[in-house]
Every structure is written in structure tokens, then in C-alpha cells.
């Protein structure tokens, strides 16, 4: 496995692979990797000759008072995990390499509608930052496909719409959420949790599964179900940002006649913001 930091070297290497007819898969990350990321790399390695994992803490997708400065940078440990997962190239550029003229002068990609609501409402401009940097990575790597985790359900929907609308010749592949034994979705931010908070954190997934069970039993009073779920979370010691039951395709609030539903949740446990989701067909 090789780690590179410059766009020039990345393109030189990838052009060589393309001339040999190699297929290329991309796994975009912000580093501080865990088993969930490793599963994305393994999935990419099953279908591509060459797997590129990018590690870039993207300042454009962090809002004011978010954890940009304290977000863990763990390149050495990340490299070990990626090599064991079958990765080929690590692309770890600097902020200067990605945004040479600074953020204020950077062209931005905005994906309308699907970026609104949910995390888009709580983190204004977040998905503009995601869409912009992913577009840049797609242009730099020019992969045949890219793998993203389904834990970030709205992000995956944003990227799929962006690729479709801009007619990018890239397949976007979703990979299932990887969980701890107690159901907590693996996340780089889980490391922020204290021991007591970590004990409480599985309530997020438990609340999702309880609500999904109510839907499977025939309940369709969606606003009431959302309120019940928020109460469960808040009573357990979390501070609910949102708990939304949506149409899985449009991410709009579920309505009568919808059958494929996704339950989206974001909640604070102390200062740590946890997100998760569960899909259900009724």
C-alpha cells in the first residue's frame, strides 16, 4: 500500500493503472478510521482492482462551533487498518492542496431539496461542503465506483442525486451500517463519549428498532410515533435533534400510502452528536 499527498502524483499513478485496464474504486473518508470504514474498503476491494481511500478532514463541511480543530487525525493507525483491509492507495492531501485559493474563493456544489431538512437543517451548509469535496475527489480519482456507508443516509442520498443530476459516470454503492455488539453504530465520534455516555448510547438504536416494530405492527400515525421516540431518547438522557420518519426515496415526511420508510435520528449525548437510521417496509 502506498500513501500519497499530491494530486499530481495521484493522477500519475492512476493513469498508469488505467492504461493497464485496471478498475478503480474510491472510499472517501475523514480518517480516524474504524471497522465501519474497513468494511467499505473490503467491499470496494471485492469489485475493483485498485482501491483508493482518501483521508481528508474537510473544513468546508464543518460549521461554527463544530469539532474541526479537535477532530482526531490518526494517519498512522489509519494506514495499518487500510492495508489490512486490502487498500491500494491512500490519498491524504493537505487543505492547501484541495483549496489552494481558500474556502471563500472555492466554487461550491449545491444539491437542492435532498440536502434540506434533517442534518441539513441542523448543520447549515454541511452538505454543500460534502457535495463540493466529493465532486472534487471524483474528478481527481475518476473512479469507476465509490463506496459510502448507509449510516450517513442523507449524505448518501445527496451524493446519489449529485451524481445523477451532473451525469457523472460513477456508480455510487451503499454499504450497510456496522454496529457494536450492543447496536451502537460505529462512528469516529464515539471516541468522544465518556464511559457513562457510552453505556447510554445504544438507546439510539434501541429506539429506532422499537419504532420500526410499531410501524411493522401497523401503526401509521407518524407524528405521534416521532414524538414517542423523542420522549424515549430524552428520558434516557439524550437531547434529541430530530427523529423523522421519511419516504426512503425522497426523504420527505412519510405520508399515507408510503411503504418504504426510513427512520432518521440525530441526538446529542453530552457534547457528542450521534446519528443513525433504520429502514423498514410496511
Provide the strand spans (E) within 20-162.
24-29, 50-55, 89-91, 145-149
Please state whether beta strands 239-247 and 145-149 pair in parallel, antiparallel, or not at all (unpaired). Answer: unpaired
Catalytic residue (choose from 5, 37, 118, 126): 37
Q: Quote the cell numbers at residue 139.
A: 474528478
Please state whether beta strands 239-247 and 260-269 pair in parallel, antiparallel, or not at all (unpaired). Answer: antiparallel
Give the H or E element holding residue 275. Answer: strand 272-281
At 230, phi and psi to the nearest 5?
A: -60, -40
Active site residue 118: no
Say which residue the cell 476491494 belongs to.
45
CA 126/CA 4 separation, integer angstroms: 27
Residue length, the chain? 282
Does residue 33 contact residue 74 with C-beta atoms inside 8 Å? yes
At 29, phi and psi to the nearest 5?
A: -140, 170
Across-strand partners of 240? 267
CA 5/CA 98 separation, integer angstroms: 10
CA 282/CA 276 separation, integer angstroms: 20
**Catalytic residue positions, numbered:** 37
Amino acid at each position: 500500500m502506498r500513501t500519497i499527498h499530491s494530486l499530481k502524483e495521484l493522477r500519475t499513478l492512476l493513469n498508469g493503472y488505467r492504461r493497464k485496464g485496471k478498475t478503480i474504486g474510491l472510499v472517501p473518508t475523514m480518517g480516524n478510521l474504524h471497522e465501519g470504514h474497513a468494511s467499505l474498503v473490503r467491499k470496494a476491494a471485492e469489485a475493483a482492482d485498485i482501491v483508493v481511500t482518501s483521508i481528508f478532514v474537510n473544513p468546508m463541511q464543518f460549521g461554527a462551533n463544530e469539532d474541526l480543530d479537535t477532530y482526531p487525525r490518526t494517519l498512522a493507525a489509519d494506514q495499518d487498518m487500510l492495508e489490512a483491509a486490502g487498500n491500494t492507495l491512500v490519498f491524504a492531501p493537505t487543505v492547501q492542496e484541495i483549496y489552494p485559493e481558500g474556502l471563500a474563493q472555492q466554487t461550491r456544489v449545491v444539491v437542492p431539496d435532498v440536502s434540506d431538512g434533517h442534518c441539513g437543517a441542523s448543520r447549515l451548509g454541511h452538505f454543500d461542503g460534502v457535495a463540493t469535496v466529493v465532486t472534487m475527489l471524483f474528478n481527481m480519482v475518476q473512479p469507476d465506483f465509490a463506496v459510502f456507508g448507509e449510516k450517513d443516509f442523507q449524505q448518501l442520498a445527496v451524493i446519489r442525486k449529485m451524481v445523477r443530476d451532473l451525469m457523472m459516470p460513477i456508480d455510487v454503492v451503499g454499504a450497510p451500517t456496522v454496529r457494536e455488539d450492543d447496536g451502537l453504530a460505529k462512528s469516529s465520534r464515539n471516541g468522544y463519549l465518556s464511559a457513562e455516555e457510552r453505556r447510554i448510547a445504544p438507546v439510539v438504536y434501541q429506539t429506532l428498532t422499537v419504532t420500526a416494530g410499531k410501524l411493522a405492527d401497523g401503526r401509521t400515525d407518524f407524528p405521534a410515533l416521532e414524538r414517542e421516540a423523542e420522549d424515549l431518547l430524552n428520558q434516557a438522557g439524550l437531547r434529541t435533534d430530530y427523529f423523522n420518519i421519511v419516504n426512503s426515496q425522497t426523504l420527505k415526511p412519510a405520508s399515507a400510502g408510503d411503504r418504504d420508510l426510513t427512520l432518521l435520528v440525530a441526538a446529542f449525548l453530552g457534547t457528542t452528536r450521534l446519528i443513525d437510521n433504520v429502514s423498514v417496509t410496511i
